[in-house]
């Protein structure tokens, strides 16, 4: 029975990847022009459509027995507006989970997606921000997005963390937060057993369906770090604060 279970989950995981990488491209070809037909804010409509599609995708993964999901503080994410959602990054599914929970999610996307033959138009219609923008333009785009009530998802590690390794936070998110005076909503993500981690092939199936657990913290005002100090020092303090924040909560898992 154990081998049957692993065989089923390996096959279902492969199908899930096909849905994301190939089905997503086909869907984008249909979704982008259809969403463009309706009057009103295309950007908002496209972000909400992606939010709902990721929610459906995540439900399918749960119904297929590929993962379990627990969320503490889900209302803080579903009601989030105009804040930076700062989360650790243990798995490839982290962004899918967060975007399925945040109706107006904003992302900084890699140039590979931005220039993708099929997904690129959808990324641009959703108003996502290319990571290839010059620094000043990126800060301006993020500031405008936050002011418009969109919530910007940031993984301060810059990449997925390998299991057992210490979190190393990049300073970019802190500079961005201090320059935009963003409110920060921290999210701690754990995945047990680890799956879809950096450097691990997708077909390496864990012994049982992983439990993804998200704990949403309290909002933090970035301006509180700017009192009586300059932006550079405030950014350093912000990085230290969140380094301790994630370490303390992940040690107790």
- Judge residue 210's burial from the number of C-beta atoms within 10 Å of its C-beta, 0-12 exposed, 13-18 middle, 19 or more buried: buried
By C-alpha distance, which of 14, 50, 17 is closest to 32? 50
- The span from the CA of 165 to the CA of 184, in Å, is 25
pLDDT at residue 39 is higher than 90: no
* Average pLDDT, integer, range 58-78: 94
| Global pTM value | 0.91
pLDDT at residue 202 is higher than 90: no
Domain architecture of the chain: domains with CATH: 2-251 (3.40.1130)
pLDDT at residue 119 is higher than 70: yes
pLDDT of residue 209: 92
Q: Which residue has the higher pLDDT, 15 or 89?
A: 89
pLDDT-above-90 percentage for the chain: 53
pLDDT of residue 97: 96
pLDDT at residue 36 is higher than 90: no
195, 212 contact by CB (below 8 A): no
Show the CA angle centred on residue 2, arms to residues 210 and 70, nearest 5°: 20
- The span from the CA of 123 to the CA of 71, in Å, is 27
pLDDT category of residue 218 using cuts at 50, 70 and 90: very high
- The span from the CA of 237 to the CA of 138, in Å, is 22
- The span from the CA of 67 to the CA of 234, in Å, is 39
* Average pLDDT, integer, range 10-30: 80
Which tens digits make up the pLDDT trace of 133-153? 998 999 999 999 999 999 999
pLDDT at residue 165 is higher than 90: no
pLDDT at residue 228 is higher than 70: no
- Judge residue 53's burial from the number of C-beta atoms within 10 Å of its C-beta, 0-12 exposed, 13-18 middle, 19 or more buried: middle
Q: What are the beta bridge partners of residue 151? A: 105
Mean pLDDT of all residues belonging to the chain: 89
Question: Which tokens is 195 given?
Answer: 């799956």
pLDDT of residue 1: 62
* Average pLDDT, integer, range 192-220: 91
SS3 label, residue 73: coil
pLDDT at residue 226 is higher than 90: no
* Average pLDDT, integer, range 220-231: 82
- Look at phi and psi of residue 15 and say left if phi exceeds 0, alpha if psi is from -120 to 50, else beta: alpha
pLDDT at residue 162 is higher than 90: no
SS3 label, residue 80: coil
């Amino acid at each position: 029975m154990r081998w049957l279970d692993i065989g089923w989950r390996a096959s279902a995981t492969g199908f899930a990847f096909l849905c994301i990488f190939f089905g997503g491209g086909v869907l984008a070809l249909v979704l982008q022009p259809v969403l463009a037909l309706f009057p009103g804010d295309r950007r908002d409509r496209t972000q909400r459509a992606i939010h709902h599609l990721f929610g459906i995708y995540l439900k399918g993964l749960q119904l297929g027995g590929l993962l379990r999901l627990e969320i503490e503080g889900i209302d803080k994410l579903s009601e989030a507006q105009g804040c930076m959602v700062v989360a650790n990054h243990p798995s490839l599914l982290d962004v899918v989970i967060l975007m399925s929970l945040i109706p107006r999610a904003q992302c900084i996307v890699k140039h590979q997606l931005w220039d993708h033959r099929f997904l690129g138009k959808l990324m641009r219609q959703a108003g996502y921000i290319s990571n290839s923008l010059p620094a000043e333009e990126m800060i301006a785009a993020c500031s405008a997005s936050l002011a418009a009530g969109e919530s910007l998802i940031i993984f301060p590690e810059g990449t997925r963390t390998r299991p057992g390794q210490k979190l190393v936070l990049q300073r970019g998110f802190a500079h961005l937060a201090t320059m935009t005076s963003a409110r920060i909503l921290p999210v701690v993500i754990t995945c047990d057993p680890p799956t879809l981690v950096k450097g691990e092939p997708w077909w390496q199936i864990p012994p049982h369906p992983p439990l993804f657990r998200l704990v949403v913290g309290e909002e933090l005002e970035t301006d509180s770090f700017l009192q009586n100090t300059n932006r550079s020092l405030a950014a350093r303090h912000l990085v230290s604060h969140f380094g301790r924040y994630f370490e303390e909560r992940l040690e107790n898992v």
